[in-house]
């Protein structure tokens, strides 16, 4: 009899326990204490972010939440950073982006589109073919925009990043939509300005979110939808017109010359030859929007990478000679136009390490924001709920000696030489391109551009910071931007 009672009790207790576990609230990361309601940690996050996050981690552990701009956000330290990148069933980059940016409204005609597939099929595997054009158009754009002319004197440039968006747009436009550069000044301008014009929506501090989380984005969406403010329209008109001209011209020429037609070799032509392209019924708006999505991903990121690498070297003249000697050696392989064979990129070992160091120390304190798309439990038992936005605590990854080696935060340009870690190689201690299955598919393309750009600058120009000091990144809260301090550039006398 008593056995039945014991069994019954065990059954009841376990039922009760399992029901409790089932209904249990999630075991969420600790929310860092704050004093002022509504404002929460917004002030510290904006104006004292580095110290603030350090203190949070010390007191609250590897994963903690803070209250900023009316939202609870979770910051994930180095121990669990890889979860965010590898568990794409639970963490989603584009969902997080769409929470704060009305990309779907700006690019209304995008349609179903897999940029990673397109880049893999038509850009990454053809980088060797594009190498010569990339160099020619990059070098001529550099000369054009860093227009020192023949008078030798040094010239001061403020805001290298701005200059870089123009320079970098030239080779990217060349490879994306065609080689007739001289004919499309207007298009280059659109390539270089589309991102910053659109991102103006991101620069407004989300003050409305203090009233209700998400209200700012709601308001921005109304602005765009109603047509009161749409920074993309003028660029769309320009690019759509250009693409339409190109596509019509190419279709006509192909019809006229048949097999003897020499097809232009670029991304646009590749897209036109895909199965899903219907020459009878072309949506130019959709073609243009696809280009814009790629422009959004490629121009400001690559321009930022170039500007940072350039500022980092200008700040540290002690490394100039060593890099110069390497470039001089590599340049012996150049043809009569100064164009290097594709393989020469692999011989720029010191420069590659320099670029990797510049990207490693890109300076974001938090990065890679992802939205949680289903409740997720970390291996330490902490849980984050669906719809939470999480950030990788990048500074935590970069401060760590066991991940980075000695002096983790000091700029040591040759620390990656002969370590089998080239600048395009993702790893858990190097996050500028994210990681896992969704790591940036444009990184090989970007690194090649940065290296060719630096190669050319090191060989042909002298440059230094106007202040004579190391110019640090410009911080806006946890985000780092290239320094806008003056750089003095002059042509090398040969
Ligand atoms: C230095 C330059 C660049 C940096 C720092 C950069 C960085 C990133 C990062 C951090 C991501 C998110 C990865 C993740 O979610 O884990 C990303 C994604 C992406 N990048 Fe880049 N990128 C650069 C250049 C480019 C270029 C030149 C292109 C195109 C030619 C490009 C195309 C893309 C695309 C299409 C994605 C989305 C991938 C996906 O969602 O699966 N990027 N990039
Ligand atoms: C992330 O969200 C986007 C847009 O909703 C979707 O297309 C994509 O497949 C998602 N990625 C994953 C890994 O679930
Ligand atoms: C043309 O394409 C659009 C979608 O892009 C489709 O809705 C339409 O039916 C197509 N028209 C023809 C004649 O195929
Ligand atoms: C996710 O967690 C919430 C509590 O924050 C809970 O109400 C919900 O049922 C959970 N969803 C799933 C699918 O377990």
pLDDT, one tens digit per residue, over 308-351 is: 999 999 999 999 999 999 999 999 999 999 999 999 999 999 99
- Which residue puts its alpha carbon closest to atom 6 of ligand 1? 433
| Count of structural domains, the chain | 1
> 3-class SS at 4?
helix
Q: Are 362 and 309 in contact (CB under 8 A)?
A: no
The answer to whether the pTM exceeds 0.85 is: yes
Tell me which residues have their CB closer than 6 angstroms to ligand 1. Answer: 85, 93, 115-116, 119, 294, 297-298, 301-302, 305, 368, 432-435, 438-443, 445-446
Does ligand 4 lie within 6 Å of residue 375's CB atom?
A: yes
> Which among 123, 117, 121 is positioned nearest to 437, based on CA atoms?
117
450 exposure class (CB count in 10 Å sphere: 0-12, 13-18, 19+): buried
Rounded to whole angstroms, the Cα distance separating 257 from 319 reads 54
Pairing of strands 367-372, 487-491: unpaired
Report the pLDDT value the prediction gives residue 490, as an integer from 0 to 100: 92
Pocket lining: 281 vs ligand 3, CB cutoff 6 Å: yes
Distance 45 CA to ligand 4 centre (A): 29
Q: Report pLDDT for 148.
A: 72
Per-residue pLDDT, 436: 93
Predicted pLDDT at 129: 95
Q: Is 440 annotated among the ligand-binding residues?
A: yes
Is the Cβ atom of 92 under 6 angstroms away from ligand 2? Answer: yes
Positions of the chain with pLDDT under 70: 1-24, 149-152, 181-183
Residue of 90, 168, 433, 454 best suited for mutating to test ligand 1, as the one with most atoms within 8 Å of CB: 433
The pLDDT assigned to 151 comes to 64
Ligand nearest to the CA of 87: 2
How many angstroms separate the alpha carbon of residue 426 from the centre of ligand 1? 12
- Check residue 11 and give its pLDDT: 60
**What is the per-residue pLDDT for 15?**
56
CB 476 within 8 Å of CB 203 = no
Q: Range of 443's domain? A: 2-491
Is 227 in contact with 140 (CB distance < 8 Å)? no
Tokens representing residue 387 in the block: 């719809």
Q: What is the CATH number of the domain that holds 266?
A: 1.10.630.10
> How high is the pLDDT of residue 13?
55
Residue 180, pLDDT score: 75
Residue range 386-407, pLDDT digits in tens: 999 999 999 999 999 999 999 9
């Amino acid at each position: 009899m008593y056995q039945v009672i014991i069994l019954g009790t065990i059954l009841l207790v376990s039922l009760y326990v399992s029901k409790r576990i089932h209904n249990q609230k999630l075991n969420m990361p600790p929310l860092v204490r704050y004093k002022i309601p509504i404002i929460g940690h917004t002030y510290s996050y904006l104006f004292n972010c580095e110290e603030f996050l350090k203190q949070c981690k010390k007191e609250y552990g590897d994963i903690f939440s803070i209250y900023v701009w009316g939202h609870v956000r979770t910051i994930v330290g180095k121990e669990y950073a890889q979860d965010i990148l590898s568990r794409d069933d639970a963490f989603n980059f584009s969902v997080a982006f769409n929470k704060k940016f009305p990309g779907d409204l700006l690019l209304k005609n995008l349609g179903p589109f897999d940029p990673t597939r397109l880049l893999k099929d038509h850009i990454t595997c053809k980088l060797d073919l594009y190498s010569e054009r990339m160099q020619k158009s990059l070098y001529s754009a550099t000369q054009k925009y860093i227009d020192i002319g023949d008078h030798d004197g040094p010239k001061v440039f403020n805001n290298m990043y701005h200059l870089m968006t123009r320079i970098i747009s030239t080779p990217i436009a060349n490879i994306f939509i065609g080689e007739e550069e001289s004919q499309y000044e207007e298009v280059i301008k659109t390539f270089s300005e589309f991102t910053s014009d659109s991102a103006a929506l991101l620069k407004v501090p989300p003050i409305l979110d203090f009233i209700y989380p998400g209200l700012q984005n709601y308001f921005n969406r109304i602005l765009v939808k109603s047509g009161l403010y749409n920074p993309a329209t003028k660029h769309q008109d320009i690019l759509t017109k250009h693409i339409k001209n190109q596509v019509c011209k190419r279709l006509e020429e192909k019809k006229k010359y048949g097999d003897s037609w020499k097809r232009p070799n670029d991304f646009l032509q590749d897209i036109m030859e895909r199965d899903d392209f219907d020459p009878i019924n072309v949506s130019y708006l959709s073609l243009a929007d696809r280009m814009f999505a790629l422009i959004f991903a490629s121009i400001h990121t690559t321009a930022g990478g170039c500007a940072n690498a350039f500022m980092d070297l200008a700040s540290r003249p002690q490394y100039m000679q060593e890099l110069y000697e390497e470039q001089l050696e590599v340049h012996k392989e150049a043809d009569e136009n100064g164009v290097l064979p594709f393989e020469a990129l692999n011989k720029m070992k010191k420069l590659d390490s320099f670029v990797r160091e510049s990207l490693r120390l890109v300076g974001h304190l938090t990065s890679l924001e992802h939205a949680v798309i289903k409740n997720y439990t970390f291996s330490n038992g902490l849980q984050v709920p669906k719809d939470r936005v999480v950030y990788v605590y990048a500074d935590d990854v970069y401060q760590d000696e066991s991940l980075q080696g000695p002096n983790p935060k000091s700029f040591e340009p040759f620390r990656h030489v002969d370590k089998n870690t080239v600048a395009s190689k993702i790893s858990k201690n190097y996050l500028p391109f994210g990681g896992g299955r969704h790591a940036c598919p444009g990184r090989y393309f970007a690194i090649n551009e940065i290296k060719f750009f630096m190669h050319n600058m090191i060989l042909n120009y002298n440059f230094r910071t106007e202040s004579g000091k190391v110019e640090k990144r410009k911080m806006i809260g946890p985000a780092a931007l290239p320094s806008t301090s003056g750089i003095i550039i002059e042509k090398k006398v040969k």
